[in-house]
A and B are shown apart, each in its own frame.
Chain A
Amino acid sequence: MSQYTLDARYSLCPMPVIKTQDKIAQLQAGDILEVTCTDPGALHDIPAWCRINGHLVKESSEHDDEVVIVIQVVG
């Protein structure tokens, strides 16, 4: 299991979702990805994308105008 980060700040949805989707396609089951965004829509859209595609959102938070979402990749 490895930890990764993704900087999706300053891009508007759906680009943070697309970047998350493309990054997760390169990862292995069990890997952890922390995504940072500035579009508050990501707080809804990335977890929705994870639910649809079967990945696990371990944590999500919003502070100082940044959204952070921690995802566990499910195989």
Chain B
Amino acid sequence: MSTQKKAVALISGGLDSLLAARLMLDQGIHVEGINFYTGFCVEGHTHAIRKKDKAKPKRNNALWSAEQLGIKLHIIDIIEEYKDVLINPKHGYGANMNPCLDCKIFMVHKAKQWMDENGFDFIITGEVMGQRPMSQRKDLLPVVVRESGADDRLLRPLCAKNLGATLPEREGWVNREQLKDFSGRNRKPQMALAAQFGFEDYATPAGGCCFLTDKNYSNKLVDLWQARNKKDYELDDIMLLKVGRHLRPEPHYKLIVSREDGENKFLQGYKKQFATIEIKSHNGPLTLVDGELSDEEFRFASRIAARFSQGRDADNVTVKVTRKDGEEQLFDIAPMPVSEIKQEWYI
């Protein structure tokens, strides 16, 4: 009697990985999912932070996919290890700060480690040849195979027929004839397959699942590195890049101004790590101050913060500045007119 073969599936929460795993389940393969958390995942964060988004349904799409498939899902925190991928990508960045090819290589490499540690036989991904310009180009798919160390234990069920046979196919663990030959950016074959399997309400993230593909987010990350004069970050740094308006009036300091109540509340959690500006005489945003400021600069920054408060048209607004050492000061200042807030301050 043959032993049931086991595959670990990279589950992103998108349609392709869902379909790839389902194709394997239909061939009698034991499948478990693995999902890597880099800190840059779009998944749910904006919903959690911004009050205006809270009416929208919240779900983790990787968990949702696993539940649809009836498989276990292992979510792995790779925040620390991922830093080297982002800071020193061997294959460079995409259109923004997205190191997609290095990221894919790293994740398949981690999946290979997990496969070896847990006695699994092969790895599956939802990659489709030619679907993405950086990580899924035909000439780059072999690079992932080679540099991840997965070699011929990496099977891409959605485009396998366009590629050479892998070990699971050659050994007869899976039937190659039942795999797919999808290619290119056309999503219709995947949507048809989803309909065939009865999958509805699957995730279709318009901008992908990673903040690093976002131009505005990437600009903020580059600004952070330039201001610190080094390419490094902690989890809190990259979380804060997702929140608020970011303005840099001078090279040595940045203001993070909340945009609504949900962000105000989220930023409250950082009050011990940053100097803050709070509007006392009117409703207004909480502002985090990243940098060392003189009294005069705090007054200037407070005028900017007051511009975003309900006292924006008042002659005077009272603000409370709390420095990082806890010292508090009240200032009466005139909110800065919108015409004086330079566009180039916005990051």
- Interface residues as binary, A19-44 with B (CB distance below 8 Å gives 1, 0 otherwise): 00100000000000000000111001
Residues from chain B with Cβ under 8 Å of A10 in the complex: 269
A5 at the interface (CB under 8 A from B): no
B72 touches A48 (CB 8 A): no
The stretch of B62-70, B128-136, B292-300 that contacts the partner chain? B62-70
A49 to B64, CA, bound (A): 9
B43 touches A52 (CB 8 A): no
The stretch of B52-60, B169-177, B245-253 that contacts the partner chain? B52-60
B63 touches A45 (CB 8 A): yes
* Contact of A48 with B67 at beta-carbon distance under 8 Å, contacts A41-B58, A41-B60 already known: yes
Partner of B73, one of A12, A41, A49, A65: A49
B163 at the interface (CB under 8 A from A): no
B43 touches A14 (CB 8 A): yes
A39 to B46, CA, bound (A): 11
B44 at the interface (CB under 8 A from A): yes
B314 at the interface (CB under 8 A from A): no
A39 to B66, CA, bound (A): 21
* Contact of A48 with B63 at beta-carbon distance under 8 Å, contacts A39-B48, A40-B58, A53-B72 already known: yes
A51 at the interface (CB under 8 A from B): yes
Partner of B63, one of A40, A52, A65: A52
Nearest neighbor of A54 in chain B, beta-carbon distance: B72
Nearest neighbor of A20 in chain B, beta-carbon distance: B75
B74 touches A12 (CB 8 A): no
A52 touches B48 (CB 8 A): no
Residues from chain B with Cβ under 8 Å of A13 in the complex: 43-45, 48, 60
B60 touches A18 (CB 8 A): no
B47 at the interface (CB under 8 A from A): yes
B346 at the interface (CB under 8 A from A): no
Q: Shortest CB–CB separation between residue A16 and chain B, in angstroms? A: 10
Residues from chain A with Cβ under 8 Å of B64 in the complex: 48
Between A and B, 20 residue pairs with Cβ closer than 8 Å are: A12-B44, A12-B49, A13-B44, A13-B45, A13-B48, A13-B60, A15-B37, A17-B63, A18-B75, A21-B75, A40-B54, A45-B44, A45-B59, A45-B60, A45-B63, A48-B59, A48-B63, A51-B67, A52-B63, A52-B66
Nearest neighbor of B49 in chain A, beta-carbon distance: A12
A14 touches B44 (CB 8 A): yes
A45 to B43, CA, bound (A): 11
Residues from chain A with Cβ under 8 Å of B239 in the complex: 12
Q: Shortest CB–CB separation between residue B34 and chain A, in angstroms? A: 12
